Amino acid sequence: MRHRTDPADLHARAVRLWIQTGEPDAQSVFYAEADRILSSGRESDNGGTPKRATNWVAALHRYEEFARTCGRNPRENTRDRASLPGDERRLGEWARYQRRFPETLTSYQRMRLDVSPAFDWDPHERVWQAQLTACLRHLRDHGRLPYLNGSERAEFTLARWLGRQLRQLQTGTLRKDRAILLTHLLNLAAEIGETPSL
């Protein structure tokens, strides 16, 4: 049985989305074909697909494999550059390049990145949303927002994140869409008698 992150399944989903867009540009055909070949586990035939398409798909598959095996996306940078292996850095830079220049991608490439479980167009937003979800889960499970003096390291880390967001909300520097979501979290906490201090 195939897993939903199986490259062949991801290829099929991307093709469906690509066809639905009504943008069947000629260049996309090469990327879709390279993805089909590499997703099947075969080596590229190099006869019908351009090397650029094959290389791009191979890089995407390596990126997804890294995320699948390591449980996280490749880092693009770190304070301690010596601790960042070259292969991981190159994969992270590849992803950053895709995000910085989406207009250079074919419609199939964009669809394939959209369905990728490893790739995020905005990784900072994904992390922010995950932290907010963790706060909501903590409120649901414990009946209160996370405390800084929590006995668990995960709660302490989450409380620090929440504290930074509350300070930004108070000073008016939190993005409007995030302020709305954070205010919703605070309203839920108030409904059960929890009043966080700003």
Backbone angles phi, psi at 108, to 5 degrees: -65, -40
| Domain extent at residue 138 | 123-191
Q: Are residues 76 and 147 in the same domain?
A: no
Rg of the chain over CA atoms, in angstroms?
21
- At residue 2, the pLDDT reads 36
> Is residue 51 domain-resident?
yes
User: Among 92, 115, 138, which residue terminates a domain?
Assistant: 115
Whole-angstrom distance, CA of residue 121 vs CA of residue 95: 9
Whole-angstrom distance, CA of residue 26 vs CA of residue 179: 43
- At residue 41, the pLDDT reads 81
pLDDT less than 70: residues of the chain: 1-4, 23-24, 43-48, 78-81, 150, 194-198
pTM comes to 0.72
As for how many domains the chain has, the answer is: 2
Q: Are residues 93 and 23 in the same domain?
A: yes
Q: Are residues 92 and 108 in the same domain?
A: yes
Q: Are residues 138 and 175 in the same domain?
A: yes
User: Among 115, 148, 176, which residue terminates a domain?
Assistant: 115
With residues binned 3-state (H G I as helix, E B as strand, rest as coil), the percentages for the chain, rounded to 5, are 70, 0, 30
CA 106 and chain centroid, separation: 20
